[in-house]
Amino acid sequence: MVRTPLCDLLGIEAPIIQAAMGFPNTDARLVAAACNAGALGSLGTYQRSPENLRAELARIAELTDRPFAVNHLVPVLNQEMFATTLAARPAVISFALGNPGPYVPPAHAAGALVMHQVTTVEQAREAAAAGVDVIVAQGTEAGGFGGTVTMATLVPQVVDAVEPLPVVAAGGIFDGRGLVAALALGAQGVNLGTRFLASEEAPVAAGYKEAILAATSEDTTRFEALNDIAPGPGTLGYPAVVRAIRSAFTDEWEVRRDEIVQRAEALRAELVEARQRGEGHIRLPVAGQSAGAIDEVLPVAEIVRRMTAEADAVIARLATLS
Ligand SMILES: Cc1cc2nc3c(=O)[nH]c(=O)nc-3n(C[C@H](O)[C@H](O)[C@H](O)COP(=O)(O)O)c2cc1C
């Protein structure tokens, strides 16, 4: 089975990471399913309560004894929740959207490896200088907050810039072909969000998964107006814009941006209330371009099994070319 040195570093069998996604998109069941399938599961802390984080960490400990990651967004990092993460001593603590520098020593002191997600070469250099152990280079295809450079353009540049640090590719990867392509670009693994959202175990509404199955790649948009509505992850650290499947909400506020400043508080409340009702995805179905290629909700183990089998087949086919 396809393996890279990253597998040995992280203690996983397949070089696949179930990406960190904020609340409510990841939970202990999803993380444990990824870990038990041989991948690295990641629990996002963004928009999670401290009580919920403690409960999910306890549940992960019941469901798996494999390595997993806990993720914090640097510009909105909650100190109480970071302390909870350190106390849980996960194998990996991952960060995104800002300089992780201050958090690297305490993470290392807690015995964790530090993984940091970047969208530019400069951010990768900064993270390497801060002493992180793994860099995730995220292309603009990705769901969630991201930058403007494509995965295939960014990954080899980041690989060269931070050598010998291992690099993981993210953005637009959904199958074994994408995994092998990432390895060809110099990455040692892949980080997938959208594909794992459309899994049986992902704790999101059926309508959200259906929206991913129905979407074409062109149906996703970088929804810049969110940074006016809810300044935070996309404005306080590394500049970033959220990618989501177009909805009536994104269509409306993309063209009414000049009105947002006066309406921001009400729109923020609308988004929070929708999320609390489990309907956040109706206004903002956060997902990446790979939605266009995903047409089936699958168990996490099957996603990992298919990806690795496809990757093995692609590698064997490529070997016949030389
Ligand atoms: C719904 C959603 C929420 C996300 N939330 C986070 C987050 O809280 N922290 C983070 O580091 N990345 C987050 N991401 C980005 C993922 O970590 C990952 O880089 C991305 O999903 C990869 O691209 P893909 O969606 O094309 O697989 C999120 C992505 C999605 C789709």
pLDDT of 19: 98
- Of all protein residues, the one whose alpha carbon is nearest to atom 4 of ligand 1 is 21
3-class secondary structure, 258: helix
pLDDT of 322: 85
Rounded to whole angstroms, the Cα distance separating 139 from 150 reads 4
pLDDT of 243: 98
Which of 137-151, 269-283, 288-302 shows the lowest mean pLDDT across its residues?
269-283
CA 89 to chain centre: 20
pLDDT of 57: 98
Residue 262's pLDDT band (cuts 50, 70, 90): very high
* Average pLDDT score over residue span 289-296: 98
Can you tell me which atom of ligand 1 is nearest the CA of 73?
9
Distance, CA 20 to ligand 1 centroid (Å)?
6
Looking at the predicted structure, is the pLDDT value of residue 62 above 90?
A: yes
Can you tell me which atom of ligand 1 is nearest the CA of 19?
17
- Of all protein residues, the one whose alpha carbon is nearest to atom 7 of ligand 1 is 21
Max Cα–Cα distance, the chain, nearest Å: 61
> What is the sign of the dihedral through the CA atoms of 248, 250, 256 and 262?
positive
Query: Which residues form ligand 1's pocket by a CB distance below 6 Å?
Result: 19-22, 25, 44, 46, 71, 73, 96, 117, 138, 141-144, 170-173, 191-195, 197, 286-288, 290
* Average pLDDT score over residue span 65-77: 98
| Contact indicator for 127, 113 with CB cutoff of 8 Å | no
What element of type H or E holds 69? strand 68-73
Q: Which of 16, 17, 18, 21 to mutate to test the pocket of ligand 1 (most atoms within 8 A of CB)?
A: 21
* Average pLDDT score over residue span 17-42: 98
- Of all protein residues, the one whose alpha carbon is nearest to atom 29 of ligand 1 is 144
Residue 110's pLDDT band (cuts 50, 70, 90): very high
Residue 287's pLDDT band (cuts 50, 70, 90): very high
* Average pLDDT score over residue span 22-32: 97
User: In percent, how much of the chain has pLDDT > 90?
Assistant: 98
Looking at the predicted structure, is the pLDDT value of residue 108 above 90?
A: yes
Can you tell me which atom of ligand 1 is nearest the CA of 139?
23
Distance, CA 321 to ligand 1 centroid (Å)?
35
Q: Give, in degrees to the nearest 5, the angle at Cα 226 between 218 and 92.
A: 85
Q: What is the pLDDT of residues 241-258, one digit of tens each?
A: 999 999 999 999 999 999
Can you tell me which atom of ligand 1 is nearest the CA of 42?
17
| Contact indicator for 195, 216 with CB cutoff of 8 Å | no
Question: What phi, psi does 136 have (nearest 5°)?
Answer: -100, 120
Give the list of residues 6+ apart from residue 73 with CB closer than 8 angstroms, or none: 22, 45, 46, 95, 96, 97, 98, 233, 237
* Average pLDDT score over residue span 128-154: 98
Q: DSSP characters for 148-206?
A: SS-HHHHHHHHHHHHTTS-EEEESS--SHHHHHHHHHTT-SEEEESHHHHTBTT--S-H
- Of all protein residues, the one whose alpha carbon is nearest to atom 31 of ligand 1 is 143
Q: What is the pLDDT of residues 193-229, one digit of tens each?
A: 999 999 999 999 999 999 999 999 999 999 999 999 9
Distance, CA 319 to ligand 1 centroid (Å)?
32
Looking at the predicted structure, is the pLDDT value of residue 50 above 90?
A: yes
Rounded to whole angstroms, the Cα distance separating 276 from 232 reads 19
Question: Taking all residues of the chain, what is their mean pLDDT, rounded to a whole number?
Answer: 97
* Average pLDDT score over residue span 16-42: 98
3-class secondary structure, 119: coil
Can you tell me which atom of ligand 1 is nearest the CA of 45?
8
